[in-house]
Structure 1
Amino acid sequence: MACQTGIRANDATKNAFNKGKQAKLRLIKAVVKNEELTLNYEYAGTANWRDDWKATLPECVDSFEPCFILFRMNTIHEWILITFADDRAPVKEKMLLAATCATFKSEFGQCYIQFERHITDRKDLSIDSFESWLKTKSDVGPMSEVEQELHNAQQERATVAHTGPQHMKGVAFPIDRNAEDALRKLAKGELNFVQLSVDTLNEAIKLEGTQDNLDAQDLAKKISRDKPRYTFFRFDHNWEGTIFNSVLFIYSLPASGSSIKERMLYSSCKGPFLDTVTRHLGVEISRKMEVDAKDDLSEKALLEVLHPLPQESPKHFAKPAPPRGAGPRRMITKV
């Protein structure tokens, strides 16, 4: 494993990452400066990615300044990560760029990156050179072990995304960075309310709102009754002398106010989303609830979900009493 530098993206770079994942940027260029991943150039672009490539590359690159370039082709899952380090650049800066690459991908989100390419000469950034290289990737030519693993992961994600709700695996949309941060804080107890939505346009799960101390009796006001939502609520309560810190997952799916496509996507995303939340973000869910516009979300209703009353075992059918004056029962034996 390569040694990591601990260098993180600054606020301007994080903001550019978020805009990029909303398809608001075509190109993002970042450099390592003052021990930070610093935004160096961004380009909003047009509807034609080839024209945008010609307008920005390789002109925005300095031969003596190693950098990371993120270029979006079409959808938010078709980003190309280019690490550029010219042979003439200082060795220290090239080493620093290489040691920060894994952190850069983690900060942006590995699931958004379709291909990676390392370039050492500006002329290899021409559109002709890039399309020639892209064709070899499309034809699945010889690949290294790392490239093969990346290709297999991309193929699997594409299969899941295209099969959609017809398969039990569901649709694995990426979780926005702000949403991930909020869920990690929920797991640590720093927040007790986190609400998320599925961005059907950009195919991602976004953060809608958070609170650090929402009272249970105010929860119902926060649940939209006309839009689907994923809501996590940490319910700290006393039950029969024991303190519980229970996390409820509330899946609100109203029958009206949203399109069929939206409801289908919420339903299909739920399984993979909860798997990521519990496996990788540390959230332990005590109970799952599915509610509509008419369901009760009072504090009493939450307690009934978390601590259901024991059900009485069904009574066996009792034989009726014999009629009065019938005398003792007689045993009849067949001969």
Structure 2
Amino acid sequence: MSHQTGIHATAELREFLVNARRGDVRAMKIVIRSEQLVLGAYRHLSQSWDRDYDPCVLPLLDSLEPCYILLRLDTHNQQGYEWLFISWSPDQSPVRMKMVYAATRATLKKEFGGSHIKDELFGTTQEDVCFQGYLRHLSSCSNPAPLTVAEQELSQIKATEDERRRVAAPSGRGKGKTEISVESKPPTLQGLAFPVQEEAKQALQHFKQRRINYIQLKLDTERETIELVHTSPTETRELPARIPADTPRYHLFLYKHSHQGQSTEAVVFIYSMPGYSCSIKERMLYSSCKNRLLEEVEKIYRIEVTKKMEIDSGEGLTEEYLYEEVHPKPQALKQVFTKPKGPVGKRGNRRVIRGAGENGEES
């Protein structure tokens, strides 16, 4: 996945990260300054990771500014020590600042090395990210909440589609072939439910909480998953540039505007398919997955989509166009049909037909 905001780590920070992964650093705080990721502070090892947790992490938190905190655990994998990645985003911090930090998180993970990160934790209060908060997080992961009705339905749909694909897959010459006639259609075209990957799920949660205002998603047609492309903060005037000219995408945009003198917002879902420059396979898969993705967005993540749009390019995706799509004008009353006037000009002498008399002569 590409960098999401264009914000990168400084050379000094990259060097520190390399040393920290193999040194005696217990925790480090990383912040954004002048559109760069820089080291804010760090703490050395003192005791075991659980005893060091609160003394090292809590003093690094600022109630007005987001940050990232990396805490070294005492467990190992093939890459070395494992780390906990904490995203701190206090409610009191400015919305745009929170959006920038949320959109840059994946960049920092890539700079640090995702294989070193064992777990992630997000919080807006100290109770979320303190040691007890992390234990609650671990407990919720090991004992997930029961599925909602919508989640159960989606799970059943996905299992059914998997079974259909398995049965339809060729298993040998003359066997396992799917017969196709004018009466039958490929079962997968009824609507697919590709699983949404973890980063995309987190982005949807952040979007629901209004921590970000734009999400771009793509299909990994080989792995059959829905992946996050980026969540760059986006103004309405920047939206046309977010639409790729050569590949399909799904977009969620929080359209903030004024309507009838009141500030309001609307969630717009955009399905962009750039004509026939895409392969038939891509066109079929994106079209088939769209409705199931929307169902998950609306039912599981409780994101109310105001307007659903299908476009082939970003051209014309202006403020005026969005406004008219979200607030369509009432249809004008149809004019009452009136009999058209006759042609203008001489129509000849008027012909008078007289009634017939008793003898059949004109009277």
| Structure-1-length-normalised TM-score | 0.50
Change (3 A) 1:42 1:279: farther
1:177 counterpart (198, 210, 228):
198
Distance in 2 (alpha carbons) for counterparts of 1:224 and 1:259: 15
Task: Give yes or no for the alignment of 1:243 onto 2:251.
Answer: no
Change (3 A) 1:205 1:153: closer
- 2:189 touches 2:284 (CA, 8 Å); kept in 1? no
- 1:194 touches 1:231 (CA, 8 Å); kept in 2? yes
Measure how far apart 1:232 and its partner are: 0.6
Which residue matches 1:47? none
Distance in 2 (alpha carbons) for counterparts of 1:105 and 1:255: 45
Measure how far apart 1:316 and its partner are: 2.2
Change (3 A) 1:313 1:204: same
Task: Give yes or no for the alignment of 1:209 onto 2:230.
Answer: yes
- 1:165 touches 1:171 (CA, 8 Å); kept in 2? no
Amino acid at match of 2:279: S
2:163 counterpart (151, 156, 159):
159
Distance in 2 (alpha carbons) for counterparts of 1:153 and 1:268: 13
Amino acid at match of 2:326: L
Amino acid at match of 1:301: Y
1:190 counterpart (211, 222, 228):
211
Which residue matches 1:312? 332
Change (3 A) 1:165 1:272: farther
Distance in 2 (alpha carbons) for counterparts of 1:267 and 1:153: 17
Deviations 1:94-115 (A, max 9, x none): xxxxx968724869xx9xxxxx
Measure how far apart 1:295 and its partner are: 4.7
Which residue matches 2:308? 288
Measure how far apart 1:319 and its partner are: 2.5
- 2:236 touches 2:318 (CA, 8 Å); kept in 1? yes
Identity in percent: 32
Amino acid at match of 1:170: G
SS at match of 1:211: coil
Distance in 1 (alpha carbons) for counterparts of 2:343 and 2:274: 57
- 1:226 touches 1:293 (CA, 8 Å); kept in 2? no
Change (3 A) 1:101 1:203: farther
| Structure-2-length-normalised TM-score | 0.47
Amino acid at match of 2:163: T
Query: How many residues align structurally?
Result: 199
Which residue matches 2:322? 302
Question: Which structure has the larger Rg over C-alpha atoms?
Answer: 2
- 2:242 touches 2:314 (CA, 8 Å); kept in 1? no
Structure 2 runs not aligned, ≥5 long: 1-20, 22-48, 54-70, 80-136, 148-154, 169-184, 351-363
Structure 1 vs Structure 2 CA RMSD: 3.9
- 1:184 touches 1:282 (CA, 8 Å); kept in 2? no
SS at match of 2:337: coil
Measure how far apart 1:168 and its partner are: 6.0
* Farther-moved stretch of structure 1 (277-286 vs 164-173): 164-173
Change (3 A) 1:322 1:216: closer
Deviations 1:187-239 (A, max 9, x none): 11111111010011111111111134x21011101111211000011011001
- 1:194 touches 1:210 (CA, 8 Å); kept in 2? yes
Deviations 1:21-64 (A, max 9, x none): xxxxxxxxxxxx95999875469xxxxxxxxxxxxxxxxxxxxx
Measure how far apart 1:264 and its partner are: 1.0
Mapping of residues 1-335 of structure 1, within 5 Å: 34=50, 41=77, 103-104=141-142, 155-159=159-163, 166=187, 169-212=190-233, 214-293=234-313, 295-320=315-340
Measure how far apart 1:243 and its partner are: 2.0
Measure how far apart 1:266 and its partner are: 0.7
Distance in 2 (alpha carbons) for counterparts of 1:314 and 1:152: 48
Measure how far apart 1:294 and its partner are: 6.8
Distance in 2 (alpha carbons) for counterparts of 1:299 and 1:244: 14
SS at match of 1:289: strand
Amino acid at match of 1:158: D
Distance in 2 (alpha carbons) for counterparts of 1:105 and 1:302: 43
